[in-house]
Amino acid sequence: MIPLFSKNILWTIVLTTIVSSLLCMGLFYFILIYKIEKQLALHENSIVEVAKHKISWESELDDLFPSSMPTAFTEAAEKGRLSVVYIKCQYKNQTESSVRSQNNGSGVLISEDGYIVTNNHVVEGAGKITITLSDKRVFEGIFIGSDENSDLALLKIEANQLPYLIMSNSDSLAIGEWVLAIGNPFNLQSTVTAGIVSAKTRNINMMEKNGVESFIQTDAAVNPGSSGGALVNTNGHLVGINTAIVSEKGQYEGFSFAIPVNVVKKIVQDLKEYGVVQRGWLGVEFEDLDDATAKELNLEPIRGALISSVSKDGAAYLAGIKPKDVVLEVNGKPVTNTAYFMEIISLYRPGEKLDVKIWRKNQVISMTTTLKNHLNTYDPVAIYKTGIFENLGIEVRNLDALERALFGNTGIFVVSIKKESILYNTKMEPGFIVKSMDGLVVKDVQHLQSLFEQKKAGKTTWEGIYKNFPGSYPYIFQVIKD
């Protein structure tokens, strides 16, 4: 048996030995690491010097030193760059064969079979449209349709297996989110700029009274030639079509504006199916709600669209909507302001139902309304503007039921007339109802087309009426045939 004091001495010796060993090992490790690091530093300096020489003067190490590592930006930029096209438009005078001027812009491939969306102001009135892809292939652009109220146009090229952008959901965009603008500014093709979403549902008073303005505002640089180009998120998905800038000099000064892709989807679908946008009409005038009016109506927080007037027998009137009602929600979407209210309504066609929540007399009221068209009926409106009508510079449609009841079962309605076109120069106005051609009764659009097919070149007389003016009006113009 070992005495107690002997055990204590033994434990002291063991602990002292262990501590001494650890201190020696630590000191050895420190000295070793110091020497290794010193040698590595000297060796690294020589490697860096060699690398500097090779980077500066040789291409051997290029792949090891990219400008930046791959990021979502580079992937998104590549997707967008391949899908954005260069658009060149040429214009001719109606009476001259020589080219009068040209306009350049951008467009976005949205399908592998060649559908392209761009701005209406890029291609409006163009006699010839040329499309150049990112791989330098050149195609003739086919005009499918356009919509002045949204400043969008749809083109097509005869090609397949093309790169294209997937359309995202612009409602999901967040303020502060990174986006890329891709276009062809100043003829610099496939230019990519970056910025953030600065604001949404922005109205800049760019369009006419019936125009849809609910722009995405960004600080990505957009310049002349970028119109019609792509605004993409970091996934490389299309979120908007670059359309406008606010500038005193005509060049980028910090803000750019894009049409939300949710609006683009609806317009493109309508143009492909009908050749014209089927816009639902609620039949109201509205305005933003200010603080004083919100307090008067006991509405907090301030939101929604204030109804200022309601058209009799319109969709809103029939649903029971009244002046001074505040629209708070449409089909589950909260109405933040009038710009977003216009955007929501623009997504629906005549005949489609809307579930609406309004604020009236300190309570929320739910109601359902069915949208009408601008003719105050529920049917889609077919507008014809190709062939002979394109040559004449007009858009026409058949008479609706009310017009047939008022003006007879024959005739066609002139919807629009392009500036400087053949019929524009006759002083004809939109709203003219063509009742006869060269003394022959015009039954409908198809009948007028057949009359033109039988017509020889020379003087032609259209005679007809206007809804709000008495009497008959003749218009004389020359028909030119190849």
User: E strands of 93-134, at which residues?
Assistant: 99-109, 115-118, 128-132
With residues binned 3-state (H G I as helix, E B as strand, rest as coil), the percentages for the chain, rounded to 5, are: 30, 35, 40
H and E: helices and strands count for the chain: 10, 25
d(CA 278, CA 255): 31
Q: How big is the chain by its Cα radius of gyration, in Å? A: 34
User: E strands of 69-214, at which residues?
Assistant: 84-92, 99-109, 115-118, 128-132, 138-140, 142-147, 152-156, 178-183, 191-202
Q: Which residues have a catalytic role annotated?
A: 121, 151, 227
Q: Judge whether 214 and 260 are in contact, CB under 8 Å.
A: yes
d(CA 472, CA 287): 40
d(CA 228, CA 230): 7
CB atoms within 10 A of CB 31: 10
List Cβ<8 Å contacts ≥24 apart for 288-291.
Answer: 288/337, 288/338, 289/326
d(CA 239, CA 259): 8
Helix (H, G, I), strand (E, B) or coil at 328: strand
Q: Is 204 left (phi over 0), alpha (psi -120 to 50) or beta?
A: alpha
Helix (H, G, I), strand (E, B) or coil at 186: helix
Q: Judge whether 404 and 397 are in contact, CB under 8 Å.
A: no
Phi, psi of 327 (to 5 degrees): -80, 120
